[in-house]
Amino acid sequence: MALSADEVRHVARLARLALTDAEVEALAPQLSQILAYAEQVGEVAAQDVEPTTHPFALRDVSRPDEPQPSLPREDVLAAAPHAEQDRFGVPRIVSEEG
Amino acid sequence: MVLTRLSAVELAQKLRTKDVSAVEVVEAHLERIAAIDGVVADGDVWRAVPADELTSRDIHAYLHVTAAAAREHAADVDRRRAAGDDLGPLAGVPLALKDVLTMRGAPTTVGSRMLEGWLPPYDATVTERLRAADLVVLGKTNMDEFAMGSSTENSAYGPTRNPWDLGRVPGGSSGGSAAAVAGLMAPLSIGTDTGGSIRQPAALTGIVGAKPTYGTVSRYGLVAFASSLDQAGPFARTVEDAAHLQTLIHGHDPRDSTSITDTPADLLTTLRDGIDGLRIGVVTELQGDGYEPGVRRVFEQALERFERLGAKIVEVSLPHAGYGLPAYYLIAPSEASSNLARFDGVRYGLRVDAPTAEEMNAATRAAGFGPEVKRRIMIGTHALSSGYYDAYYLQASKVRTLIARDFASAFEQADVLVSPTSPTVAFGLGDKTADPLAMYLNDVATVPASLAGTPALSLPAGTAEAPDAPQATLPVGLQIMAPLLRDDLMYRVGWAFESDLGFTPIPAGDTAVEVA
């Protein structure tokens, strides 16, 4: 399928990518071409075929429920672009008016 | 004796007999890196020179060289050897790590601005195992951003050059790891392979590269691209070296929920058993049109060699192989769009400030990701979005089942399957960057084994000209695919072929390599 510029903007919003108009214009034909190629998978009759996500079909994997050491908090926060009061700092998410 | 020309096994032997010290081996490699790679050889961690200052003579295999830590580790190995400690088989041998695996003490960038300067707080399991085996890490190697690409031109830090011809690409996405080994800046390196990112660069740089059976090498500490496909594996200049390196990194890891408890049969005990009587399957769908004449000629010669060595050539079919690449370019971007959601400007890496959290996320991601990563995130987000999931990701995952069944049937008729690794020899820098789909077609022969999870190895089969350079001498890779968990078989077939061919994996006459 061919993606319009507006559809590209919609997908970019879902993907949290602030694209410029020039990027949107360049991406629309590129994504359309790649999708047209990838859509060949639709030619395969596979209604009754189970999908594969792992060659060994593992079942749920869990480790024994025993406490393990975590990474030191200060090491993890040291890598963050903004941290304060032992937490990651982010811009306001909820407005004060609620 | 030029230490940088020796194989890992040869170096290990000389280290064991104390003909050389681990410190001398590290120094020889650091000296060569400083001479030809384009690094600022200064301080504890050497940095690659910035992309706009690289010259056309810099190979640019390394992003960071952990010079001080390597010297210190090597000295420690020498001390323990002198004290009579029991050391591992490759103790003191240096190696390079693709910059997608975390290692404390140096940045992990994944070839992206998004993680520029990030210091990971933990080691990948692969890193941990290599250190425990006393391999000495020389540094972190260049790669296509987030391992998305087939030429290493998508690195945010500038492209790596092919030691065979500095005007050509080394393949990708593990191009830095391949060029480090081909350019004699490490005897061994680790890459990762999602759709061919170890095998294709091995082919284009004339070395050996292997993608182990999916699930046998831990992905803990491997920055995820497409989780159901990503697998780390070895690069080396000999099949035996690669088998040794894979042996050191595989095995179950409880920290990776996709890690399996089985391990392949020992890769070294049957290595020299030969291939008399083995059935070698030529895959009908992975040859012919679309493969360069030089690649086809070398592949035909390889089949004749296998017959001379006593193997039986049989023609086999993977009927759905032609759908492998379309399925891959839905599955991998879909998983990438999900995995890369974690780069949101909060916990690590870049942040571009904005008034709201959502604007901050979107501005950070716009600034941190390069064009190819954005393209794949967009494809994947679209493919997973409401109304499209069944036709795209689910259908591609069903095609994946059919491809795996094709492999299972083919392995009833043949012990291993072979094909050219790549349809082309190394192409020129910039030749394919304007056409994303043309770049994707590099993976046509490697993607089927990725989707099936089967182990596959590429080794040099000879050299050929390039369509744009009739006089050129460029390596051609042969791909050997084996059944699940039969990694031992691909090494055995590879070793027999390599021993008979006598390929010298050193680009003769290349100016970069003349610096001994």
At B421-431, the pLDDT tens digits run 999 999 999 99
Catalytic residue list contains B499: no
Calculate how close chain A gets to B398, using CA atoms only, in Å: 4
Does ipTM top 0.90?
Answer: yes
Residue with tokens 């399925």: B327
- C-alpha to C-alpha distance for B190 and B178, rounded to whole angstroms: 9
Give the range of the structural domain holding residue A17, as residue numbers without chain letter: 5-43
Question: In this model, does residue A97 exceed pLDDT 80?
Answer: no
- C-alpha to C-alpha distance for B461 and B475, rounded to whole angstroms: 7
Alpha helices in B144-209 (DSSP H): 175-182, 199-205
- C-alpha to C-alpha distance for A30 and B490, rounded to whole angstroms: 38
Interface mutation vs chain B, best among A6, A10, A16, A40, most B CBs within 10 Å: A16
> In this complex, do A41 and B357 lie within 8 Å of one another by their Cβ atoms?
no
> In this complex, do A34 and B360 lie within 8 Å of one another by their Cβ atoms?
no
- At residue B516 the predicted structure's pLDDT band, cuts being 50, 70 and 90, is very low
Question: What is the model's pLDDT at position B507?
Answer: 64
Question: What is the model's pLDDT at position A94?
Answer: 75
Beta bridge partners of B236: B188, B208
As a whole number, mean pLDDT of residues B34-45 equals 97
Question: In this model, does residue B352 exceed pLDDT 80?
Answer: yes
Sign of the Cα torsion B28, B29, B35, B39 reads negative
Residue with tokens 């259908």: B395
> In this complex, do B374 and A92 lie within 8 Å of one another by their Cβ atoms?
no
Report yes or no on A9 lying in a domain. yes
> In this complex, do B365 and A30 lie within 8 Å of one another by their Cβ atoms?
no
Question: What is the model's pLDDT at position B514?
Answer: 46
- C-alpha to C-alpha distance for B193 and B196, rounded to whole angstroms: 5
- C-alpha to C-alpha distance for B8 and B19, rounded to whole angstroms: 14
Question: What is the model's pLDDT at position A59?
Answer: 74
Instruction: Give the residue from B261, B225, B270 showing the smallest Cα distance to B99.
Output: B225
3-state secondary structure of A14: helix
Question: How many C-beta neighbours within 10 Å does residue B32 have?
Answer: 21
- C-alpha to C-alpha distance for B436 and B166, rounded to whole angstroms: 22
Task: Choose, from B151, B197, B422, B450, the residue flagged as catalytic.
Answer: B197
Pairing label, strands B46-48, B136-141: unpaired
- Could you tell me how many residues make up chain B? 516
> In this complex, do B257 and A61 lie within 8 Å of one another by their Cβ atoms?
yes
- C-alpha to C-alpha distance for A27 and B375, rounded to whole angstroms: 7
Question: What is the model's pLDDT at position B51?
Answer: 97
Residue A26's CATH number: 1.10.20.60
Could you say which of B118, B327, B378 has the minimum Cβ distance to residue A27? B378
Residue with tokens 């999900």: B338
Dihedrals phi, psi of B370, to nearest 5 degrees: -85, 175
Number of structural domains found in chain A: 1
Question: In this model, does residue B64 exceed pLDDT 90?
Answer: yes
- Each residue of A57-95: pLDDT tens digit? 777 777 789 998 999 999 999 999 999 999 999 998 777
Report yes or no on A14 lying in a domain. yes
Q: Is A87 on the interface with B (CB under 8 A)?
A: no
Catalytic residue list contains B98: yes
- Each residue of B376-400: pLDDT tens digit? 999 999 999 999 999 999 999 999 9
- Two tokens, residue B317: 């079919």
Report which of residues A98 and B319 the model is more confident about. B319
- Two tokens, residue B66: 């952990």
Top CATH class of B3-278 equals alpha beta
Locate the chain B residue with the closest alpha carbon to A8. B378
Interface mutation vs chain B, best among A25, A27, A34, most B CBs within 10 Å: A34
Could you say which of B119, B228, B357 has the minimum Cβ distance to residue A53? B228
Burial class of residue B477 in the structure, from the number of CB atoms within 10 Å of its CB (0-12 exposed, 13-18 middle, 19+ buried): buried
> In this complex, do B385 and A53 lie within 8 Å of one another by their Cβ atoms?
no
Beta bridge partners of B231: B193
Report yes or no on A25 lying in a domain. yes
Question: In this model, does residue B472 exceed pLDDT 70?
Answer: yes
Q: Is B392 on the interface with A (CB under 8 A)?
A: yes
Report yes or no on A17 lying in a domain. yes
Residue with tokens 């058993």: B273
Instruction: Give the residue from B197, B94, B196 showing the smallest Cα distance to B142.
Output: B197
Task: Choose, from B21, B98, B259, B458, the residue flagged as catalytic.
Answer: B98
A50 interaction partners in chain B (CB closer than 8 Å): 398, 401
For chain A, what is the radius of gyration of the CA atoms?
22
Q: Which residues of chain A from 12 to 31 reach within 8 Å of chain B, CB to CB?
A: 12, 14-20, 23, 27, 30-31
Cα–Cα distances in angstroms (integers) from residue B135 to residues A80, B107, B121, in the given order = 31, 19, 21
Q: Please state, for a pLDDT cut of 70, what percent of chain B lies above it.
A: 98
Report yes or no on A35 lying in a domain. yes
Domain ranges of chain B: 3-278, 323-396
Burial class of residue A77 in the structure, from the number of CB atoms within 10 Å of its CB (0-12 exposed, 13-18 middle, 19+ buried): middle
